[in-house]
Structure 1
């Protein structure tokens, strides 16, 4: 009896832990002992209820809605801007949308979702694609809204999201479809032309009636005409546009060769003599289109790899609508619907959707996307915040100051995209060679025709057509931009953002690399090691520095705040930044200044002998001094320390070994800068200290006139120098303005990213030059074979795409910026 009882209990537990619909084990997340039936997923649960025709279904949906711990606010999907972007109108009573769903696991999930029309009035159909987890829904907007459909899907356990098919992706799909259709038609024509050719060749040996011979020749003419002026028309369209604009294009010799062969075959067909070449022409068009499609596919692959900035803003925003009696209602809207002046609610943990001014609230903001610094920046009412940054701690109400497309994040993305799309000098050089090459090929084809015409007109046309087809200037035109684009994409994956391919060329010329000290050579993690002066000044220092974006200000706020408990009731007014010096402001009529020792000379500050002696002791210890002055008198001083980056010495040695001179430009005290320079092996003549941003800019400008000059910096005060240098590199932790001014942004700690960039640039340029050599060698050899009659048009059609694919393959095999590169 005991064994039977145990067996019964085990069987009950087994049934209790198995899905009531499919019998699979129930995962921990779906295990609810209090339920009489349990399921392995929401799909099985819904499918079971539908098949049982159980009234429990609607109760279950309502219960999930009440107990859902996720935001069910899908009202933004009912907004006109959202509908314009994502919803397709099939008829006045029929709308269609494709949504990406979370949580689709099995066929039961598909069954549950595709039965949506049975338990939600107004839904006409819902078709699920299990491979990409999307559903295509058609519904009647007069009966049910899209937000209700989305909420229902969410309650079923499948959170919906819009599938963001941007315009370029849609164009790419249409182009891909068009090319495949042309390829299919050309392939059918080539197959039929070859079958007819086999019949004609058979007739040569076994004999063929004259009427049958003419029938096959004319049929072959019709097939070739469909192939040439159908799918093959793109060659003529491109050649015609090139002639209209008087530009050289690789399709010009191809079109001339195809027309020459077709004209000769047409004449022989009408006259009933000679070869007709229609099988060769049809196969030729097919092979050329295969080559073009492979190039197009490689292009799409390369473009996909260059996707540097993804969606860094939320999908929707919460707009506050003020109604009568002061009541506020929050409306969910898509980002495109945000207008200047709209007040938006940003909850803790949300991304800020647009640049704006904080109207109410107090929180911390993660600005790492713009500054590289993940430490939260405190913000209060009156502060400005940027799109893409994250609200960390408390809700905020912000007022939109611009449209989403005009935010700082969008402007940075536009700078990057513009740099990627720009044509570098080496690309322009390749295009110029391609243009001359077309003219040379046409000239050689004419000479080939004249040379062979003395022996046979058919041979002359055949060999000239072969030359026109086999010569491939496209390899020159494609390989260089592809090599650059792929190098940029791989560099981006290593957190090295290269705005323009010009960078790779400029790095081939040796010159001088100027390094900023604080935050570039040093880690930028500054700490206050000593404070000497009046303790009552600490709250004032905190108040004036908390709104400053600079590593020193961050250190003062963090370290000094822990030294004294205080609550500041007086407000700092007229806060002004003094780039290269510090910051000053007014409090209770007193002028407060906090900054480097250069403030003493700039503002003619007085300082006691004791404080001055202590400052000198700071310098001798390699520490940086900070002064705090009230009404022209230094009342307190701080000593701050910043450790040299562990890889700085290695990176500088590698730069020197590569032939670069290295120097330091800093606004810090002379003794501190010299100490850092000596530790890194930088001679005293290449270290400049206590210089202002204007002096730093002057040094960079003078250096740029003499040689290739690279400026490496991270702060706002470096932006002018970054822009003036031959090439500016903004490093990890830098401000957004330095990123905009620089040609390269290295979003990885340390200086070794600079050497990785230089090594990658060297390999990229080497690959480009190798591609030049391969392409020119191929064309010289192929042209010689064609002119001597050693290859025919079919072989030429095979060799032509192979030449392009070979250089594209070399571009993809470029060893630059590989993941294992240190």
Structure 2
């Protein structure tokens, strides 16, 4: 954790953007300015439109002013490295280069306006085409006239820091698959639309009179269009059915293909014999609707996976590599794509570690919260393993690379979640099984229908049987369930709830027991100053000493003591600063010896302490807080208590979960008194609070609870992974360890406890939607079967009614409100 500088939060200004009229975020509002802007794009666009007829050099100065309100623009020289150019830049024979960049800070159409004006004031740039939805810009420039790093620096100065495109290769494959699906969808839609137009003329001809030659022409025209639809876009269902037959597995494509084949066969026979009804119009519409559902499901899964892929964005894209494996060798900035196992890289204090590797030079504190959930820095010395995604806290180090890219722990986490998102859920498999059973039943009922109506003539019997087969097609059953699940997964991912499997929705919809880990789940997982007892006049001296070091305790004291600017001591008041390993720090402040550290300071027999402060230390220790002593000239004059703050939304969320019927408890490895104190603060009964638990004991508690009810385990550390795997649903919170993420079914990318409640409410609504679609499809088909068997509908009516069931359940699935409005108002901190 890095020492944080003191900041003063400016009051929220309720105003509108001078350019676009949108609300201005409080952090961008400026009280001393008449002009307010919601983003840098609006500010730059305003300067262009209001002050200049064209572009003027003053515009660049205004853009620089806007950009200075952010962090200073970084160097982008690594974008010119051959390894980056080879992977991301396409250069034509005519000397024109093209690449795509992901832009940060893009807010509205004004941003698009400014970005696409780049060629007008940056020589060498030919075009910039912005995709506002994907927040990417495609740039073309003359290779000999300018460099990509110059373009990136200019975009950064405008307020839009660029990044390399993420998962470019996979994105290309997804685009190819999406392109194929769209082609099939377009052909199916064209066939369905034209078939329906010809069918309208044919039907009117039957009722109003039409010559046989035109009836014959229209029949064969419809048959030809249907043949194209079934043979090209509809072939995916027949391939799926054939695979199901070969592997002897349940698959909804099997009944779909059977229904399509039966309708096509009867329609073709009637077309050749020029008698009865044809069903090609309904079949082409059905193929189109099924493909629409599949494409929407694919799109929702892509969106969910894209949310997961954002984990890669936490890693730096530029790395400082040693030219030779020698700490004294020269340094070069290269893209992360150029790093190979065995390379030595230099990581400054405060930087994110980009690779998995071994520390070969230096020692430091590492923030492993992304992997373990532990907020305090962990000491790392020469020879220790370090992991990508963690943060180097205290000093510069040199790392020998062992794993890069998708082979790192962060990369494996992303691949794991993406793989699980694509898996077919048990509830979808249930729909497939029901669909197959339903087909068998329908075939038996069709045979019975033929037998019943045989006495009235074979043609009448076959017509009624065909009406039954057409109208009772279980396509809606197979379409609506995965549609609902995919919709819910995509919306949940957009809200920071990554659901690996649709089975989670079914489990979370039934109230049971929720076990919550304490640190990082119910608490914020980082140190803060809880109490300061003693002489507060010493706080400016404490502030001065702690600013000389980088340590989580120093950061917590500086951030929470809130020493006023006018009370801060000058640097000249400090002398003889010294770090005491394992104990703390000391220095002379205005001639007085100030020592700050742990209780080990009391081991010095010359250190004096009053009875009252000794009692305060014992009380802090009993509450599980970290004590920091302040000693002046050999006497303890103050004691600070640091601890983990309870999350602001914990109490309200626990109350709502209890109201919904969940039995909430705490499983913690911390001291029982600490766990009990947290449970009391947030409203959990003491009988449900268990502390001092080992990982094995957590596992045993979860296993015992899961014998008779749904059990949800929420945690973030390696010590929670076994319990997460044993629970009905394991939920890993943001910053969790890799082991916990592998074991969990759900990963929360948002802070706080409230996402757990959001997941439960969304699951309940999703399961209700799935059950509703099941009921609509089955009731519709049962009613339709009765009508067909009784001879009340003919194949024409059946062909008209058949798509209605699919449309109705699709409408219900699309109207699912899960993960839209599932939040509760934030509460004040306890």
TM-score range, shorter chain: 0.5 to 0.7
Contact in 2 for aligned 1:471/1:783 (Cα 8 Å): yes
Superposed displacement of residue 617, structure 1: 8.5
Superposed displacement of residue 295, structure 1: 1.2
Alignment match, 1:631: none
- Separation in 1, partners of 2:352, 2:182: 37
Alignment match, 1:403: 404
1:274 aligns with 2:285: no
Alignment match, 1:445: 446
Contact in 2 for aligned 1:43/1:112 (Cα 8 Å): no
Superposed displacement of residue 802, structure 1: 3.7
Alignment match, 1:775: 777
- Separation in 2, partners of 1:259, 1:726: 46
Deviations 1:717-767 (A, max 9, x none): 434333343433344665554444433344555544444433333333222
Give the 3 Å change call, closer, same or farther, for CA 330–419 of structure 1 in structure 2: same
Superposed displacement of residue 781, structure 1: 2.0
Structure with larger Rg:
1
Alignment match, 2:702: 700
Alignment match, 1:257: 262
Alignment match, 1:289: 287
Contact in 2 for aligned 1:42/1:156 (Cα 8 Å): no
Superposed displacement of residue 400, structure 1: 2.6
1:744 aligns with 2:749: no
Superposed displacement of residue 299, structure 1: 1.7
Provide the secondary structure at the position in 1 that maps to 2:388.
coil
Alignment match, 1:5: none
Aligned counterpart for 1:710 among listed residues 696, 709, 712: 712
> Superposition pairs for residues 451-470 of structure 1, below 5 Å?
451-470=452-471
Alignment match, 2:341: 340
Superposed displacement of residue 771, structure 1: 2.2
Alignment match, 1:484: 485
Q: Which has the higher contact order (CA 8 A, sep 6+)?
A: 2
Contact in 2 for aligned 1:100/1:163 (Cα 8 Å): yes
Contact in 2 for aligned 1:150/1:159 (Cα 8 Å): no
Provide the secondary structure at the position in 2 that maps to 1:308.
helix
Which shows bigger deviation, 354-363 or 692-701? 354-363
Give the 3 Å change call, closer, same or farther, for CA 627–338 of structure 1 in structure 2: same
Superposed displacement of residue 432, structure 1: 1.5
Give the 3 Å change call, closer, same or farther, for CA 317–198 of structure 1 in structure 2: same
- Separation in 1, partners of 2:77, 2:794: 64
- Structure 2: any 5+ residue segments left out of the alignment? 1-40, 58-71, 535-541, 564-573, 584-596, 601-609, 629-635, 825-830
- Separation in 1, partners of 2:551, 2:392: 18
> Superposition pairs for residues 346-745 of structure 1, below 5 Å?
352-357=353-358, 370=371, 385-388=386-389, 398-522=399-523, 524=525, 525=527, 527=529, 529=531, 567-568=578-579, 618=618, 623-624=623-624, 645=647, 647-671=649-673, 673-674=675-676, 685-705=687-707, 707-731=709-733, 734-735=736-737, 737-745=739-747
Deviations 1:144-182 (A, max 9, x none): 998599689979999987666504431343223322442
- Separation in 1, partners of 2:627, 2:42: 63
Superposed CA RMSD: 5.9
How many pairs are equivalent?
707
- Separation in 2, partners of 1:531, 1:30: 54
- Structure 1: any 5+ residue segments left out of the alignment? 1-25, 33-37, 48-68, 533-538, 573-591, 596-609, 629-635
Give the 3 Å change call, closer, same or farther, for CA 84–46 of structure 1 in structure 2: farther
Contact in 1 for aligned 2:55/2:121 (Cα 8 Å): no
Deviations 1:516-573 (A, max 9, x none): 44554455545475899xxxxxx9xx99xx9999xx999799999x99985337699x
Provide the secondary structure at the position in 2 that maps to 1:341.
coil
Q: How high is the TM-score relative to the length of structure 1? A: 0.67
Superposed displacement of residue 404, structure 1: 0.5
- Separation in 1, partners of 2:378, 2:92: 49
Give the 3 Å change call, closer, same or farther, for CA 700–107 of structure 1 in structure 2: closer
Give the 3 Å change call, closer, same or farther, for CA 201–659 of structure 1 in structure 2: closer
- Separation in 1, partners of 2:532, 2:128: 68
Q: How high is the TM-score relative to the length of structure 2? A: 0.66
Alignment match, 2:178: 173
Provide the secondary structure at the position in 2 that maps to 1:312.
helix
Contact in 2 for aligned 1:667/1:692 (Cα 8 Å): yes
Give the 3 Å change call, closer, same or farther, for CA 297–450 of structure 1 in structure 2: same
Provide the secondary structure at the position in 2 that maps to 1:250.
helix
Superposed displacement of residue 339, structure 1: 1.9
Which shows bigger deviation, 364-373 or 438-447? 364-373
